[in-house]
């Protein structure tokens, strides 16, 4: 019997992690479809940013209520990983609570801590569910979330509840069995775990020994299977942030928010244009790129890999959209939707590559127009409210800017008034049509 369950355990583990690895590789490949960008400089600042923003959740605390609730789930999740080590050892070797003997009082402390955090997490999860479904918080109930995104969010919360219930079923029944001297753990007494020593006898006290043994196993296997399911569900959901928030904050834009990148391809061209010694008819240098550089982004492959990582990391919380001046005044632009659509398109491109044996075959679609419309892009005031609001340093603004660049520089498709403004700058060095010679007239006016 031990051998059979060990084999089943090992098989499930290998299948669970294997399947996840296959999908994780796909995510990695899709992110690498992006253009290169150097985000490995200033590593000590980057580590610091990751520690503060991802590990310490600094930006979440701009809204203290959800921040505390989220922190409860986060802390429970982190600490429960320690218990998983024991589950794996017990699962493989058919042991029961392998660490209890050797760790003694510390074991009781750890499991108690997990239990306390689990109760906090359960409470938080229930509050989160009601914020979404009963209180109907505006940013969690916008039209853009109808359908799958809403189901996805609720499913994650429900899975968390099941996970916590499994933990308490496992510990609670084992407590009762141990009281009776019938636990798989040798001896008789109480585990003294803060919560289950009370709720165990209260809930399961009247159950027969046989039922208790079955329930204990249901809790144990349920916990383990939920962990594997959750791990594999990540790939299909918005919940990848539990892993990707860390690289995402490490590779984030750590410059002042107002500093937009200067396109190197443009710099090269402008320098050539302004160089009086440049020969306009010279043959291109032999090492010049075969394909001329594309200015701005039309599709996901034109974005850089950090922007694509951003898209996978987004958990659709909508803090960006709820602080966006365009969205607040009823325009079509929603920074969250920019991230969701970027991910949708990236996944579509990924599937295209999978079905076409490793190469992307043109499907006649692009991120621009088929997913994100110029109307959305032109509504942005570049105010950085979305970037500031994002708890994990995602920049919807950088994607908007790169797509604007494509519209203007590759398609000359700026709104007409902006073309007038740009012509003025070209002709007289100001966005309005005034002579450069009048620049100092203000001095004598009153």
Partner 1 sequence: MSESLVVPTMAEMMAQGKQPEILFWVGSAGSYDDRAKKITRAFVKILNAAQVDFAVLGTEESATGDVAKRAGNEFLFQMQAMMNIEILNAYEIKKIVTCDPHSFNCLKNEYPGLGGNYEVIHHTQFINELINEGKLKFSENTYKGKRITFHDPCYLGRANKIYNAPREVLQKTTATIVEMKRHKSTALCCGAGGAQMFKEPEKGDMDVNVLRTKDAMETNPNIIATGCPYCNTMLTDGVKFSHKENEIQVLDIAELIANAQDL
Subset of 314-343 contacting partner 1 (CB under 8 A) = 323, 325-326, 328-333
Minimum Å gap between C-beta 339 and partner 1 is 18
Stretch that binds partner 1, among 146-154, 244-252, 254-262, 299-307 (CB under 8 A): 254-262
The count of other CB atoms within 10 Å of the CB of residue 326 is: 20
* 42 binding partner 1? (CB under 8 A): no
* 385 binding partner 1? (CB under 8 A): yes
* 432 binding partner 1? (CB under 8 A): yes
DSSP 211-257: HHHHHHHHHHHHHHHHHHHHHHHGGGSGGGHHHHHHHHHHTS--S-T
Q: Which of 185, 263, 294, 301 binds partner 1 (CB under 8 A)?
A: 263
Minimum Å gap between C-beta 174 and partner 1 is 49
* CA distance linking residue 181 with residue 226, whole number of Å: 29
* 407 binding partner 1? (CB under 8 A): yes
* 414 binding partner 1? (CB under 8 A): yes
Query: Could you identify the residue written with the tokens 């310490």?
Result: 56
Scanning residues 266 to 295, which ones bind partner 1 (CB under 8 A)?
266-267, 269-271, 273-274, 295
Scanning residues 105 to 164, which ones bind partner 1 (CB under 8 A)?
none
Residue 35, beta-bridge partner list: 304
Minimum Å gap between C-beta 38 and partner 1 is 13
Distances (CA, A) of 412 to 7, 232, 422: 63, 44, 11
* 62 binding partner 1? (CB under 8 A): yes
* 102 binding partner 1? (CB under 8 A): no
Q: Which of 45, 101, 209, 438 binds partner 1 (CB under 8 A)?
A: 438
Nearer to partner 1, 45 or 255 (CB): 255
Scanning residues 387 to 406, which ones bind partner 1 (CB under 8 A)?
387-389, 401, 404-406
CB–CB of 214/14 below 8 Å? Answer: no
Stretch that binds partner 1, among 32-40, 146-154, 265-273, 286-294 (CB under 8 A): 265-273
Distances (CA, A) of 99 to 9, 58, 83, 195: 19, 34, 10, 19
Minimum Å gap between C-beta 356 and partner 1 is 32
In this structure, what is the dihedral angle of CA atoms 11, 14, 17, 20, given to the nearest 10 degrees?
-80
Q: List the one residue out of 155, 167, 149 whose CA is nearest residue 225.
A: 167
* 262 binding partner 1? (CB under 8 A): yes
Minimum Å gap between C-beta 168 and partner 1 is 40
* CA distance linking residue 432 with residue 50, whole number of Å: 44
Coil, strand or helix: which one is 446?
A: coil
């Amino acid at each position: 019997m031990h051998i059979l369950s060990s084999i089943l355990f090992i098989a499930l583990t290998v299948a669970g992690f294997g399947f996840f690895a296959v999908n994780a590789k796909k995510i990695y490949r899709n992110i690498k479809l992006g253009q290169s960008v150097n985000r490995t400089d200033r590593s000590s600042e980057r580590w610091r940013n990751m520690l503060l923003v991802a590990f310490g959740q600094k930006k979440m605390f701009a809204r203290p209520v959800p921040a505390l609730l989220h922190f409860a789930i986060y802390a429970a999740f982190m600490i429960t990983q320690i218990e998983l080590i024991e589950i794996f050892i017990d699962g493989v070797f058919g042991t029961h609570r392998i660490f209890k003997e050797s760790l003694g009082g510390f074991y009781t402390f750890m499991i108690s801590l997990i239990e306390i955090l689990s109760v906090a997490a359960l409470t938080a999860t229930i509050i989160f569910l009601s914020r979404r479904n009963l209180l109907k918080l505006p940013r969690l109930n916008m039209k853009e979330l109808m359908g799958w995104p809403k189901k996805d969010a609720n499913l994650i919360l429900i899975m968390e509840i099941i996970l916590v219930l499994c933990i308490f079923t496992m510990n609670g029944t084992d407590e009762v069995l141990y009281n009776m001297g019938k636990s798989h753990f040798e001896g008789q007494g109480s585990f003294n775990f803060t919560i289950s020593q009370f709720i165990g006898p209260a809930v399961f006290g009247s159950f027969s020994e046989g039922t208790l043994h079955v329930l204990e196993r249901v809790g144990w296997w349920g916990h383990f299977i939920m962990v594997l399911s959750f791990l594999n569900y990540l790939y299909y959901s918005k919940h990848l942030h539990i892993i990707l928030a860390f690289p995402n904050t490490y590779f984030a834009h750590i410059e002042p928010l107002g500093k937009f990148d200067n396109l190197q391809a443009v710099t090269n061209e402008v320098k050539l244009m302004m160089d009086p010694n440049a020969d306009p008819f010279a043959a291109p240098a032999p090492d010049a790129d075969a394909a001329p550089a594309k200015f701005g982004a039309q599709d996901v492959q034109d974005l850089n890999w950090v922007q694509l990582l951003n898209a996978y990391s987004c958990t659709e919380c909508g803090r960006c959209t709820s602080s966006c001046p365009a969205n607040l005044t009823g325009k079509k632009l929603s920074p969250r939707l920019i991230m969701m659509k970027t991910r949708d398109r990236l996944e579509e491109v990924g599937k295209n590559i999978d079905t076409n044996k490793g190469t992307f075959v043109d499907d006649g679609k692009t991120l621009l127009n088929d997913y994100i419309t110029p109307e959305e892009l032109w509504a942005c005031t570049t105010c950085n409210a979305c970037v500031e609001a994002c708890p994990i340093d995602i920049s919807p603004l950088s994607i908007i800017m790169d797509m604007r660049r494509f519209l203007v520089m590759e398609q000359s498709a700026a709104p007409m008034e902006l073309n007038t403004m740009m012509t003025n700058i070209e002709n007289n060095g100001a966005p309005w049509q005034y002579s450069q010679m009048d620049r100092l007239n203000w001095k004598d006016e009153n």
